[in-house]
């Protein structure tokens, strides 16, 4: 009986099944496993290790389809979410699965982080770029307030990254932030600007970096009315950040309309473009040395 109903539904509404399959289409990473890195040593010709925190929700985590083979640039490394160890950076940066077998991998895919790091590395050939992924899909900004779970975990990882890299005197050089879909509603929007400001100020105080560069990004405007009204309102808040909080910037990604099929998550091409824009904004905030 159940089989007959399923066949009838498939015949009558094939688009529903196609959409469901498309939403879950982000494949797990493939072998070879992650390549471990001795974070206490720098490659020859490199003089500094710059650390960056990647914070936000699913679009920072990334859902774009991954390339067939991993990149292995010795000047771009990442702190693994599961074991806090350091590896050559590759997609997905927010890997929750085991570093060797990928067991436990969720739907993380291509986000903006690797293109961001590649752009920074190209701009400074003497630097290693260290990425500290912290994003969690679906997370409200309320979970990123001081004392809340995701804020405290990001702070722990930031401090651990500094501890790990003490022999090479690494520095936290910036934060990139892509979040807002979870709070793009009439109930949450009025408090969002203040919560964003409070999070930035708390992070700077806890890391003793009062001028830590912070770059936000607008969320996608791919949906239609009435949801689009709330998305636009959220983006106005994001874009106004530099006017109210010093040493911040905002990437404008409203022109990027390509997604993975759900009108929420940017596809690989859009994510790579966002990563490049993140890097351009952050380079504009870094002091001249």
CA distances from residue 151 to 135, 177, 217 in whole angstroms, order as listed: 10, 12, 18
What are the extents of the domains in the chain? Answer: 30-284
- Among 201, 200, 176, 152, CA closest to 275: 176
CA atoms within 13 A on the CB side of 206: 18
State residue 21's pLDDT score.
36
State residue 56's pLDDT score.
98
List of the chain residues with pLDDT < 50? 1-24
State residue 169's pLDDT score.
97
State residue 19's pLDDT score.
39
Bridge partner residues of 118 (DSSP): none
Query: Strand order of the sheet with strand 86-88?
Result: 86-88, 76-79, 127-133, 48-56, 171-178, 214-217, 248-251
State residue 11's pLDDT score.
42
Q: Span 30-284: which CATH code?
A: 3.40.50.1110
Cα-flanking dihedrals φ and ψ of residue 250, to 5°?
-140, 125
State residue 26's pLDDT score.
59
State residue 3's pLDDT score.
41
State residue 16's pLDDT score.
37
State residue 5's pLDDT score.
41
State residue 18's pLDDT score.
39
State residue 30's pLDDT score.
66
State residue 22's pLDDT score.
42
């Amino acid at each position: 009986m159940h089989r007959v109903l399923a066949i009838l539904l498939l015949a009558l509404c094939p688009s529903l099944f196609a959409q469901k399959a498309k939403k879950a289409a982000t494949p797990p990473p493939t072998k070879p496993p992650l390549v471990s890195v001795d974070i206490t040593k720098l490659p020859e010709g490199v003089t500094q290790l710059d650390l960056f925190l990647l914070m936000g929700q699913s679009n920072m985590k990334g859902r774009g389809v991954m390339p067939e083979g991993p990149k292995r640039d010795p000047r771009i490394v990442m702190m693994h979410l599961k074991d806090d160890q350091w590896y050559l950076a590759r997609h997905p940066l927010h890997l929750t699965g085991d570093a060797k077998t990928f067991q436990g991998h969720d739907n993380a895919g291509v986000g903006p982080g690797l293109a961001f790091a590649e752009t920074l590395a190209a701009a400074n050939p003497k630097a290693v770029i260290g990425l500290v992924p912290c994003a969690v899909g679906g997370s409200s900004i309320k979970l990123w307030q001081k004392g809340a779970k995701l804020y405290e975990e990001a702070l722990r990882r930031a401090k651990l990254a500094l501890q790990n890299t003490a022999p090479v005197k690494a520095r936290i050089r910036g934060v990139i932030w892509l979040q807002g879909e979870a709070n793009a509603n009439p109930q949450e929007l009025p408090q969002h600007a203040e919560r964003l400001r409070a999070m930035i100020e708390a992070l700077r105080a806890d890391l003793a970096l009062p001028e830590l560069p912070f770059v936000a990004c607008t969320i996608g405007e791919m949906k239609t009315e009435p949801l689009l009204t709330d998305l636009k309102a959220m983006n106005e808040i994001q874009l106004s950040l530099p006017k109210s909080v010093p040493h911040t910037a905002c990437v404008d990604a409203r022109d990027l309309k390509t997604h993975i099929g759900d009108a929420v998550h940017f596809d690989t091409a859009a994510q790579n473009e966002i990563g490049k824009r993140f890097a351009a904004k952050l380079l504009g905030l870094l002091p001249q040395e």
